[in-house]
Chains A and B, each alone.
Chain A
């Protein structure tokens, strides 16, 4: 029994004509064949060469023939299951289903001073507990909730964060990679009967480093699914135009898909969109820009045509430095457009100030946004019951009303979404209850969750196994002089 996620019951939003989709996909094939990509990985180069790619050894440049690209894309499943520690939290990625995942941050936020601060182990574990409790959040993001925490050496950040998620949540998790961390995260997931959605990231333009391809090989060999990210800055590491950036971004994502399908046909892959226009004043990425949304709507349309599931990772990031109006509108606009254009997984919850910070209070507010989007996707149900002609006839004009009708009692909660943290009071109620905002409600909800929510613990033998793997990781890095 898997989590169903949110089902979209209407036609997806499309922004490109059929001819425009053709031009972009043709452009991608041309780039892969003519420009080629740089791959810093001997084993992958050999594999591609033996399958008909032209490899220029002196610059590790690979040119991939269109036939091979299309053959490999056809081998990618259009939908697939990912196993969680608790089967009730399994997800089935693909089709017209949308799930939400959280984003992460380098640090946490001191709620009183609103300044970033280094998270403790307790902050990290508490944040995961909150994420575990949120009903509109289905997948935990990489490094969650923080990139690291107090007392943990940088080299152990990913293994420790992976263990933190396994210990404090039963939800499916994505994990990143650094210093071969995937070796240990794969072991930990297997120890608790789960899978990890392995994330790998391109170095745009058109370059794949050894580490990402190593992580790909390890995940594929372990039989785990992989999500592949281009990760471009438009005008910096990609063309500044949306169409040009789609061409190179898709080429970057296709390369590991080809490798994965050559290693093991049928490997589960998820195409991830994570691009930002460059801020032409500072050179930094512009989080929350409408360019991100334009790109992801087109991206979803193209990857629906490829028949490969889609993950939109930009939606959880805003350029705003605080949990404010800008943060809300930048996330909501992206989230709505991602979901209505056919994203299967959307990163939304928890990040504040782009990737600088994360806070569970923000995640709780974002969970309302995810719930609203989920309700939107379900669309408008039209049938004899919902048309309500019989009730309308019975109630008639004023002084008739609907509040006492069985029809109202039956449908109001399913027809309409009830947020948990949004302020929906009347003005007098708002004054009488101390002028609380969504932020105060979310903070109260967080405190209650931390008292009430008890994630399903690991069994003693699972806990022992996870700790043993962490100890092996520590030894491994000590031997390498990194710890």
Chain B
């Protein structure tokens, strides 16, 4: 492994998004093969993931590594696209906290872990209106729509999005996963969601399972 690739790997393992982004820029300048840069970073991400699975690493580690990966990819993604070497994601996830709700932590954890698992993640942020979800789904054609709500009063908003998906003929094109404090499996079913999990790591496992890529 070249010095540059080692540095990329170390930046991910040090959870340093800024360093990862700088290395991305340097790699473009020095015309280093960006696919091998991506692979080195993915390898580091996998190491952290394996470490989490055997109990040595924890959520802050997973999220740190994932954010470093995002830092790198934000710099090199466009260049990869131009070169026609875009990496094939496991799948695409559109994610957001529903309208009326500004809670972000659960949604952010799921988004970060999904990146770590190789998903392309379109994060719409918080307080996302039904129309914004629809627009993002039409534009990005995701396999997964993930919605979060932390208030009993905003939880039903997830059901409104699902209803709109049906009305617009998009329901069959996307798997809907819901989560958040007041959500239960029964409530998720009653809204017509495809799945619910109580924690971020379980949620991302569910994404893979729904795509037939689970363990």
Q: Decide whether A and B assemble into one complex.
A: yes
Interface residues of A (CB under 8 A from B): 106, 154, 178-179, 203, 207, 209, 211, 233, 235-237, 278, 280-284
* A-binding segment of B5-13, B80-88, B100-108, B133-141: B100-108
Closest to B184 in A: A106
Closest to A240 in B: B60
The answer, yes or no, to whether B59 is at the interface (CB within 8 Å) is: yes
- Shortest beta-carbon distance from A383 to chain B in Å: 53
* A-binding segment of B40-48, B160-168, B195-203, B207-215: B195-203
Query: In the complex, what residues of B have CB within 8 A of residue A284's CB?
Result: 198-199
Query: In the complex, what residues of A have CB within 8 A of residue B105's CB?
Result: 233, 236-237, 283
Known contacts A154-B152, A178-B153, A179-B153; is-contact A283 B106 (Cβ 8 Å) = yes
Query: In the complex, what residues of B have CB within 8 A of residue A235's CB?
Result: 60
Closest to A118 in B: B186
Q: Which of B60, B102, B106, B152 has the most CB of A within 10 A?
A: B152
Q: Which residue in B103, B150, B153, B200 is a CB contact (below 8 Å) of A211?
A: B153
A283 B60 Cβ-Cβ under 8 A: no
10 contacts across the A-B interface (CB closer than 8 A): A106-B184, A203-B103, A209-B151, A211-B151, A281-B59, A281-B201, A282-B200, A282-B201, A283-B200, A284-B198
- Shortest beta-carbon distance from A406 to chain B in Å: 59
CB-based A-B contact count at 8 angstroms: 38
Query: In the complex, what residues of B have CB within 8 A of residue A233's CB?
Result: 105
> C-beta contact mask, B113-153 vs A, less than 8 Å → 1, else 0?
00000000000000000000000000000000000001111
Q: Which residue in B58, B103, B150, B153 is a CB contact (below 8 Å) of A281?
A: B58
For the complex, give the distance between the alpha carbons of A154 and B199 in Å. Answer: 23
Chain B interface, DSSP helix/strand/loop, else mixed: loop
For the complex, give the distance between the alpha carbons of A301 and B105 in Å. Answer: 30
The answer, yes or no, to whether B188 is at the interface (CB within 8 Å) is: no
> C-beta contact mask, B177-188 vs A, less than 8 Å → 1, else 0?
000000010000
Closest to B61 in A: A280
For the complex, give the distance between the alpha carbons of A237 and B102 in Å. Answer: 13
Query: In the complex, what residues of A have CB within 8 A of residue B202's CB?
Result: 282
- Shortest beta-carbon distance from A291 to chain B in Å: 15
For the complex, give the distance between the alpha carbons of A282 and B63 in Å. Answer: 12
Known contacts A235-B60, A280-B59; is-contact A207 B102 (Cβ 8 Å) = yes
- Shortest beta-carbon distance from B108 to chain A in Å: 10
B59 A283 Cβ-Cβ under 8 A: yes
The answer, yes or no, to whether B37 is at the interface (CB within 8 Å) is: no
- Shortest beta-carbon distance from A240 to chain B in Å: 9
The answer, yes or no, to whether B109 is at the interface (CB within 8 Å) is: yes
For the complex, give the distance between the alpha carbons of A284 and B58 in Å. Answer: 13
B199 A178 Cβ-Cβ under 8 A: no
Known contacts A178-B152, A203-B102, A211-B153; is-contact A283 B58 (Cβ 8 Å) = no
Closest to A106 in B: B184
Closest to B109 in A: A283
- Shortest beta-carbon distance from B154 to chain A in Å: 10
For the complex, give the distance between the alpha carbons of A233 and B59 in Å. Answer: 14
Query: In the complex, what residues of A have CB within 8 A of residue B153's CB?
Result: 178-179, 211
Beyond A178-B153, A281-B59, A282-B200, 4 additional contacts (C-beta under 8 Å) are A178-B152, A203-B150, A211-B153, A283-B105
